[in-house]
Amino acid sequence: MAFNLTRRKFLQSASLAAVALPLSEAIASETSIQRSPLESTGSFGDETVVGGVCEMCFWRCQLVGKKRGDRLIKLEGNPKSIDNGTSICARGNAGIKLLYDPDRLKYPLKNVGERGNPKWKRISWQEALDECGTKLKQVHEKYGAQGLCMFPHGSSAKYPMHFMERTLGTHNVSEASFYQCRGIRDTAYLATIGKAPGENVDMPNAKVIMLLGGHFGENVHVSHIKRYIKGLENGAKLIVVDPRFSASAAKSDVWVRIKPGTDTAFLLAIMNYLIINKKYDEEFVDEYGDGLEELQAGIKQWTLEKAAAECDIPAAQIKEVAELLAANSPNVSIHPGRHVSWYGNDFQRQRALACLTGLLGAFYVKGGWVPGKGPKVGAISWAKHDHGDEHNLNMNEDEERLYPYAPPGTPTELIRDAALTGKPYPIKGCVIWGQNPIQTIPGQDKMKEVLKQMDFVMCVDVMPTDVTMWADILLPEVSYLERYDYIKTGTQWDFADNHLQFIAPRMPLAEPMFERKDQVYITNEIARRMGFEKEIPVSSAMEMVEKNLEVAGLTLDQVRKEGGIHTRPGKDPYAMPEDFEVLFYNEDIEDAGFPGIPTYKPTEPPPAGYTRLLYGRVPVHTFNRTQNNVWLNRAMPENPVWINDELAAKMGLSDGDTVGLVNQDGFSSRTTTTVKTTPGIRKDAIYMAHGYGSANPLLTVGADAGVDDQSLITKITVDEETGAHGMRTNFVKLVKDGKVLDIPTSA
């Protein structure tokens, strides 16, 4: 283990959410962990296979597999890991149930019914690949590269994505991890400190940790949560800003019960207070800061009182937070957040977080933001193919960029609008690979219209999900436990003085079953059929990983002999780079037509009778992708709606009541769920876990379980600087026994 955190304590932290869940669920998730075979015995299986890298979520903990005969029977953290160590979370543990899920896609399928209402016919790979190659080629020839689009997510989607982008030449690629998740964070920090921040805060050494909306314990990334717990064990004070009493709020010293959407005002008031009272790190700001005067002038109206009124919190609490940060600077972890696509005003909030970190001098210091220096590995990719100016059009790269701070790819909404209007160009071919845009992207009906108008939709997945119902051809991929791909790299900068780096290539722990194929096979075969045979960079996934390892001077054999993970000495993570700068004021942002200093843009309040819909993670599921997992379904089969207990009493609602929801545009939830009444949420919002309520009847466990939050997010909000989505701008009422209940929010 990388540090002294006992297994029991880790399990406690992984089920921290029990604090914030209703008792019934708390018991369910606790017992599911206690009953896990992990607890009962240390020895399992006849053989241990090394080299696994989890992808039940995208943190990619390193695994070993225990086998009995041909069957993988248990997953564990790799004892060689300096990242997650021997720990994995509930979802990682349940990977076995994904591997052997009887509902998994097994053969290539052709939709002989309608998109959205499919009738599946089993076909051969030959036929499936021929059809994909022919149809994609037709679109490419008729409409140019810009006639194609892709919705990818996950490590296996990288290889086909690069084929689409580089060889076919389309810019219409929208990754969920950028446009619905963390892209705004990355470009806002890039525009402030020249680097994307990751979640790289040195929490074990922090004196104060501040989380805005981050709720560790419900949001679970094993090594990250260990660093957080280590920080708390070491005595860090915890400030949690959240409208809801989250698992982190339950551990906090200061819980800022903020009005949703107003975080930027809160941050500006803290910065103003620090500047006026000269409580910022003057030495750091003199040396590394640029534009403090502009910042000071631009935020001077943000007094504690003004922010208190805007955020609906006491002025004294904002002062308390500012004082706590100042007294402990520079050893403070201002967490950059991860899922930051909130209100469509998010670029400015993320800039404010980076600027506050700068005012506190908390870059490259113990406890502050410390990027960590991981090792280099290769990135085999497809050759760039020039199809001529007419064929590689990019609607976000016109003379004036529409979204100058867009993360890589093209904003989802631009792609959808182009597909629906044909302007600036038609989009007629769609590849979906490891993403479920029906449940991931706001505006479900819009997404369905986009898919309906395509000439061809191809989908590569491991499970039948809501989006796979829209495919013409549906291809079954091997899972992360059955393939070579992604090399997980990282460092151990935050625990020890002898800094280490690690390299962990994903190797299969089990043999592929049925007719499932991997990403390299599928992409190469389609490329061949589209006439790009000569450009194929590798002939197998194993060769791809081998070549990428070469850059680090390693081979798969060697890493396997080393237990699946290669470690080597690292570099001092606290060394400040020479050209480091914090741009409190950024002239380029202003030239592009946006505020050059962090600026608060209010979000629309709920209309009378409605309340705001908030959503987030639960410890035992990953978005929608684990809903059919039988172990995880047992741990949390539905997503109760959190509603303030006083409001509930006024509305005649009790804990456990069955309800549906309807939103401001008249969209109703297809399914129902239960009510959780609690003082742990403000009156101007309700909360539910994201990812539930799957509609695909082929999911024998997950279909119709709970309510799909995305089906209620129909008002589409886009962040002006980045083009990424905001999703917390929708409002709902509850429906009980067929009766729509007004929400007395002003009560």
Ligand X SMILES: Nc1nc2c(c(=O)[nH]1)N[C@H]1C(S)=C(S)[C@@H](COP(=O)(O)OP(=O)(O)OC[C@H]3O[C@@H](n4cnc5c(=O)[nH]c(N)nc54)[C@H](O)[C@@H]3O)O[C@H]1N2
Residues that bind ligand SF4 (CB under 6 A): 54, 56-57, 59-61, 84, 88-89, 91-92, 220-222
* Contact characters 600-629, ligand X, x per CB under 6 A: --------------xxxx-x-xxxxx----
With contacts defined by CB under 6 A, name the span among 132-140, 142-150, 151-159, 497-505 that binds ligand X.
151-159
232 binds Mo ion (CB under 5 A): no
User: Which residues, 6+ apart, have CB-to-CB distance to 7 below 8 Å?
Assistant: 86, 87
Kindly give the pairing relationship between strand 582-583 and strand 289-290: parallel
Out of Mo ion, ligand X, ligand SF4, none, what residue 501 binds, judged by CB under 5 to 8 A for its kind, is none
479 binds ligand X (CB under 6 A): yes
CA 135, chain centre distance (Å):
32
Q: How far is the CB of 422 from ligand X (least distance, A)?
A: 26
Beta bridge partners of 460: 433, 475
412 binds ligand X (CB under 6 A): no
Out of ligand X, Mo ion, ligand SF4, none, what residue 625 binds, judged by CB under 5 to 8 A for its kind, is ligand X
719 binds ligand X (CB under 6 A): no
CB nearer ligand SF4, residue 93 or residue 350: 93
With contacts defined by CB under 6 A, name the span among 115-123, 357-365, 457-465, 714-722 that binds ligand X.
457-465
| Among 480, 486, 631, 731, interactor with ligand X by CB under 6 A | 480
User: Where does residue 305 rank: exposed (0-12), middle (13-18), buried (19+ CB within 10 A)?
Assistant: exposed
CB nearer ligand X, residue 220 or residue 332: 220
Q: Could you say which residues in the range 223-282 bind ligand X, by CB under 6 A?
A: 241-244, 246, 258, 260-261, 263
Q: Could you say which residues in the range 310-369 bind Mo ion, by CB under 5 A?
A: 339
Out of ligand SF4, ligand X, Mo ion, none, what residue 61 binds, judged by CB under 5 to 8 A for its kind, is ligand SF4
CA–CA gap between residue 567 and residue 401 (Å, rounded)? 43
CB nearer Mo ion, residue 52 or residue 214: 214
Residue 745's alpha-carbon distances to 282, 647, 650, in angstroms, are: 44, 8, 10
CA–CA gap between residue 37 and residue 687 (Å, rounded)? 33
Residue 73: other Cβ atoms inside 10 A:
15
User: Which residues, 6+ apart, have CB-to-CB distance to 38 below 8 Å?
Assistant: 74, 76, 93
| Among 440, 501, 673, 674, interactor with ligand X by CB under 6 A | 440
Report which DSSP code applies to 181. I
Report which DSSP code applies to 84. S
In this structure, which amino acid lies at residue 719? D
| Among 15, 111, 180, 444, interactor with ligand X by CB under 6 A | 180
559 binds Mo ion (CB under 5 A): no
CB nearer ligand X, residue 451 or residue 460: 460
| 3-class DSSP state of 302 | coil
CB nearer ligand X, residue 159 or residue 280: 159
Q: Could you say which residues in the range 575-614 bind Mo ion, by CB under 5 A?
A: none
291 binds ligand X (CB under 6 A): no
Q: How far is the CB of 591 from Mo ion (least distance, A)?
A: 31
Q: How far is the CB of 177 from Mo ion (least distance, A)?
A: 6
Q: How far is the CB of 481 from ligand SF4 (least distance, A)?
A: 11
Report which DSSP code applies to 180. I
Beta bridge partners of 209: 238, 333
| Among 188, 318, 460, 698, interactor with ligand X by CB under 6 A | 460
- Taking alpha carbons only, the member of 183, 212, 310 closest to residue 722 is 183
215 binds ligand X (CB under 6 A): yes
> Which helix (DSSP H) or strand (DSSP E) does residue 566 occupy?
strand 566-569
Encode 451-506 in three state secondary structure.
HHCCCEEEEEECCCCCCHHHCCEEEEECCCCCCCEEEEEEECCCCCCCCEEEEEEE
* Contact characters 11-50, ligand X, x per CB under 6 A: ----------------------------------------
Contact between 440 and 216 (Cβ < 8 Å) = no
| Among 687, 699, 703, 729, interactor with ligand X by CB under 6 A | 687
Out of ligand SF4, ligand X, Mo ion, none, what residue 706 binds, judged by CB under 5 to 8 A for its kind, is none
CB nearer Mo ion, residue 25 or residue 186: 186
Kindly give the pairing relationship between strand 658-663 and strand 685-689: unpaired
Report which DSSP code applies to 580. -
CB nearer Mo ion, residue 339 or residue 516: 339
> Which helix (DSSP H) or strand (DSSP E) does residue 71 occupy?
strand 71-77
Out of ligand SF4, Mo ion, ligand X, none, what residue 168 binds, judged by CB under 5 to 8 A for its kind, is none
| 3-class DSSP state of 616 | strand
Q: How far is the CB of 662 from ligand X (least distance, A)?
A: 16
Out of Mo ion, ligand SF4, ligand X, none, what residue 726 binds, judged by CB under 5 to 8 A for its kind, is none
CB nearer ligand X, residue 169 or residue 261: 261
Q: How many helices (H) and strands (E) are present in the chain, helices listed first? A: 25, 27
Residue 223: other Cβ atoms inside 10 A:
24
CB nearer ligand SF4, residue 627 or residue 644: 627
In this structure, which amino acid lies at residue 447? M
**Residue matched to tokens 């022919």:** 134
CA–CA gap between residue 661 and residue 91 (Å, rounded)? 28
In this structure, which amino acid lies at residue 368? G
Q: Could you say which residues in the range 534-593 bind ligand X, by CB under 6 A?
A: none
339 binds ligand X (CB under 6 A): yes
With contacts defined by CB under 5 A, name the span among 175-183, 559-567, 659-667, 676-684 that binds Mo ion.
175-183
CA–CA gap between residue 10 and residue 124 (Å, rounded)? 47
Exposure of 108 in the CB half-sphere (CA atoms within 13 A):
17
- At 316, phi and psi to the nearest 5? -60, -30
CB nearer ligand SF4, residue 59 or residue 731: 59
User: Which residues, 6+ apart, have CB-to-CB distance to 137 below 8 Å?
Assistant: 529, 530, 531
CA–CA gap between residue 414 and residue 403 (Å, rounded)? 10
- Taking alpha carbons only, the member of 1, 11, 65, 80 closest to residue 39 is 11
CB nearer ligand SF4, residue 54 or residue 239: 54
176 binds ligand X (CB under 6 A): yes
Out of Mo ion, ligand X, ligand SF4, none, what residue 92 binds, judged by CB under 5 to 8 A for its kind, is ligand SF4
181 binds Mo ion (CB under 5 A): yes
728 binds ligand X (CB under 6 A): yes
Q: Which residue is nearest to ligand SF4 (CB)?
A: 92
- Taking alpha carbons only, the member of 651, 570, 145, 87 closest to residue 395 is 145
Q: Could you say which residues in the range 341-400 bind ligand X, by CB under 6 A?
A: 342
CA–CA gap between residue 643 and residue 352 (Å, rounded)? 30
**Residue ranges in contact with Mo ion by CB under 5 A:** 181, 339
Residues at the contact surface with ligand X, assessed by CB under 6 A: 57-58, 153-154, 156, 176-177, 180-182, 212-215, 219-221, 241-244, 246, 258, 260-261, 263, 337-339, 342, 433-436, 439-440, 460-463, 465, 477, 479-480, 614-617, 619, 621-625, 687, 690-691, 709-710, 713, 727-728
